[in-house]
A and B are shown apart, each in its own frame.
Chain A
Amino acid sequence: MVKEVMTSNKAVAEAVRLAKPQVIPVYPITPQTTISEYLAQYVADEKIDAKYVKVESEHSAISAAVGASGAGVRVFTATSSQGLMLMHEILYAAAGMRTPFVLADANRAISAPLNIWNDQQDSIAQKDAGWLQIYVEDAQEALDTTLMAYKVSENPDILLPSMVCLDGFILTHTVEPVEIPDQESVDAFLPPYVPEHAYLDPKDPMSIGNFADPEYYMEARHDMDVAMNNALDVIQKTCDEFAEIFGRQYGLVEGYKTEDAEIIYVAMGSLCSSIRVIVDELRAKGEKVGLLKIRSYRPFPVDAINEVVKNCSKLAVVDKNFAIGMGGALFGDMKLKIDKEIYGFITGLGGRDITPEALNEIYEITKNGPENDVTWIGLKEE
């Protein structure tokens, strides 16, 4: 095993190299750009035997990805923010055509106002597209999750694309030590993609991306719901298999000091690292507090969440996204599916720092009983 210091973008690129995709259509956008640069270099240096497709927009990048995946090969693409917005139409097509490729999204705020900094509004805006969405906390998890995403997406019971979501700049442009698995172990974990439902083969001709009239459309959409629910089990099993080979255990969710916690923070992505520190500090003061980290946002792991939160009394959901007029998306989903006293907090939009003071404030407000179900934290008042 080799350990190197690298950004999460480099970690994703390393995972892609190890996964051996045959087609990589990608268009650069901050803060994803270095992923596309590393991959272009790997292809040029023949470290990846892939066709690197230079396209004129993200809409074309993902269209090429769907076409290549439909031709029956493993495909990777990456984007961020406005790029994901431009992909919107084809994200739904990719899921509906059941093309199981992987997209890395470097989470970044959405215009307007124009902002290149981190929040999670871009991928959250695509939560209903039929893609699996996994939010990662650090560079190692970015690498490991990218590898696991292929195995889950390509499972015949799933056949839905996966989005690996990593926080822009906080992860994409900071360095950490990352263990790079060897190719032999990755090959054993992730064999070549064998397409079953859609591929170009003159001996077995088929038409994909077809028209479905009212007689067929609902069943096609329902099939996707079944596949998404199947993914809960497949993700967990894939995490377990990954742990056996590589020694790092992941799951649908992770509970941190939740066993006897009365109040539990709920968050996704790199913010979980900050909250772990605050949980430790509050614990040192005698507070019974914990963290529920949601890795798998789609599928939404209701049973796994209930298992972690069963003993607590209140949940403080920390969202780095906002549905105007409603609250955070994770807050909304928790309210819909989890039967607990739940409060929502809006933080860190457009790269606003989420300070220890802000996280402590969330705890205090939750403990004392918030005035409103959704509270903005760190908002400047004139």
Chain B
Amino acid sequence: MVNIGCVIKTPGNTKNNKTGSWRTFKPILDKESCIDCDNCILFCPDSCINKQHDIDYDYCKGCGICAYECPSDSIEMIQEESD
């Protein structure tokens, strides 16, 4: 699973590290009330929101900055449920 000494021979394999598993609160975006200002896209530190305002939950760590910056309160942070 791990190379000897944790050597990495495949460039870009950080994407295999699904940091979304760190999340405690999950952002849910309501496209109905969204005013398309794109603040969430600009402020997301992990570039997890695309132009269609879909959230990439593989890498979203649930920091909540998108919800804080949303002027139309279209993003709600809900607690993750345990598996």
Contacts and interface: CB of A to CB of B under 8 A. Distances in A.
A98 B8 CA distance: 13
B5 A197 contact: yes
Contacts of B8: 206-208, 210
B1 A159 contact: no
A208 B7 contact: yes
A223 interface: yes
A216 B11 contact: no
A103 B9 CA distance: 28
B6 interface: yes
A364 to B, nearest CB: 50
A220 interface: yes
Interface residues of A, number: 21
A204 interface: yes
A90 to B, nearest CB: 14
A100 B17 CA distance: 29
Contacts of A219: 1-2
A97 B1 contact: no
A325 interface: no
Interface in B5-37: 5-9, 11, 17
A216 B5 contact: no
Contact of B17 (A96, A97, A205, A213): A213
Most buried by A among B1, B5, B9: B5
Interface in A96-117: 96-99
Q: How large is the interface on B (under 10, 10 to 19, 20 to 34, 35 or more residues)?
A: 10 to 19
Q: Is the interface of B mostly helix, strand, loop or mixed?
A: loop
A207 B11 CA distance: 8
Contact of B4 (A159, A204, A212, A213): A159
A198 interface: yes
A98 B17 contact: no
Nearest to A212: B6
A216 B2 contact: yes
A206 B6 CA distance: 10
Contacts of B52: none
B6 A216 contact: yes
B2 A220 contact: yes
Nearest to A211: B6
Most buried by B among A99, A197, A212, A219: A197
A370 B42 CA distance: 74
B3 interface: yes
A197 B3 CA distance: 8
Interface in A206-262: 206-210, 212-213, 215-216, 219-220, 223
Contacts of A99: 5
A206 B1 contact: no
Contact of A98 (B1, B4, B9, B11): B4
B11 to A, nearest CB: 7
Contacts of A204: 9
A206 B2 contact: no
Interface of A: 96-99, 159, 197-198, 204-210, 212-213, 215-216, 219-220, 223
Given A208-B5, A213-B17, 19 more contacts: A96-B6, A98-B5, A159-B4, A204-B9, A206-B7, A207-B7, A207-B8, A207-B11, A208-B6, A209-B6, A210-B7, A215-B17, A216-B1, A216-B2, A216-B6, A219-B1, A219-B2, A220-B2, A223-B2
